[in-house]
Amino acid sequence: MDLGLRGRTAMVTGGASGIGLAVARAFTLEGAHVALWDIHPGVGDIARQLAAETGAQVLGLAVDVTRGDSVEHALLETTASLGQPGHLVHAAATGSGKYGFPFTNLAPADWARVLEVNVMGTARVAHAVVPRLADDGTMVFVASVAGQIGSQSDPPYSASKAANINFAQCMAKDLAPRGIRVNTVCPGMVRTTLNQAVWRAWFEQAPPEQRLGFDEWSERKIRALVPLGRWQTPEAIADMIVFLSSARAAHVTGQTINVDGGFVMHW
């Protein structure tokens, strides 16, 4: 299936690893030019490796979404090197680094960095990109099922992802007259360092006789929460994001799509 992305320019924040890198690779396989925006200092090397693997034009730029000047500079560099942006995928995010519940285990100071990156970072990127985005362009924001179910694992992260979903819907309404589509994709259970940290927090609080290794703990959790009974993968998330960015999804905007194995079902 030709998704009509050949020759288009896509920007992927958080593109140096995980879901962001999987999205970038999926875009290159469709013939798109891709800019990786990431705070990771090795993003340039990662971009060159991806270009060598796929034969695509890939640009790697060090970007800090908490700084407006950094975002603006990356946008100018991307446009100069790859042409007018047609697609944005915003996957840059962070957690508080503190897990467990109740929320009173955290302090108000634990919220600031998460909100600055996940909420204000999203706003900075959107305000910078939208005026320069092609009129048939797309934006996809990577949120989380945690933003829909009030996950207690990391309340600042959950709240920030709920904000991302709501802001994407606001933008979808505002930008529809220009033909720009805005959607949100919510990953479910993906093997990430976040899940390792959640397990570690549980392990340290559990009675010694109830402690499980990460593999057994995570498999039990998957069987209990995910109807399909398996982990989601970065590639599965990327497939949905690239589809939503394509002309094949021309009538889809303002939607929140869960790629979660059935974890969250609304009825």
pTM for this predicted structure: 0.94
Q: What region, left, alpha or beta, does residue 226 occupy, with left being phi > 0 and alpha being psi -120 to 50 degrees?
A: beta
Is 99 part of the annotated catalytic residue set? Answer: no
| pLDDT tens digits along 189-206 | 998 776 777 777 778 878
H or E segment and range at residue 187:
strand 181-187
CATH of segment(s) 9-188+234-254: 3.40.50.720
d(CA 114, CA 207): 30
| pLDDT tens digits along 56-77 | 999 999 999 999 999 999 999 9
Instruction: Return the domain boundaries, the chain.
Output: 9-188+234-254, 189-231
Which is catalytic among the residues 27, 157, 202, 263?
A: 157
Least confident span in 76-80, 177-181, 207-211: 207-211
83 class by beta-carbon count within 10 Å (0-12 exposed, 13-18 middle, 19+ buried):
middle
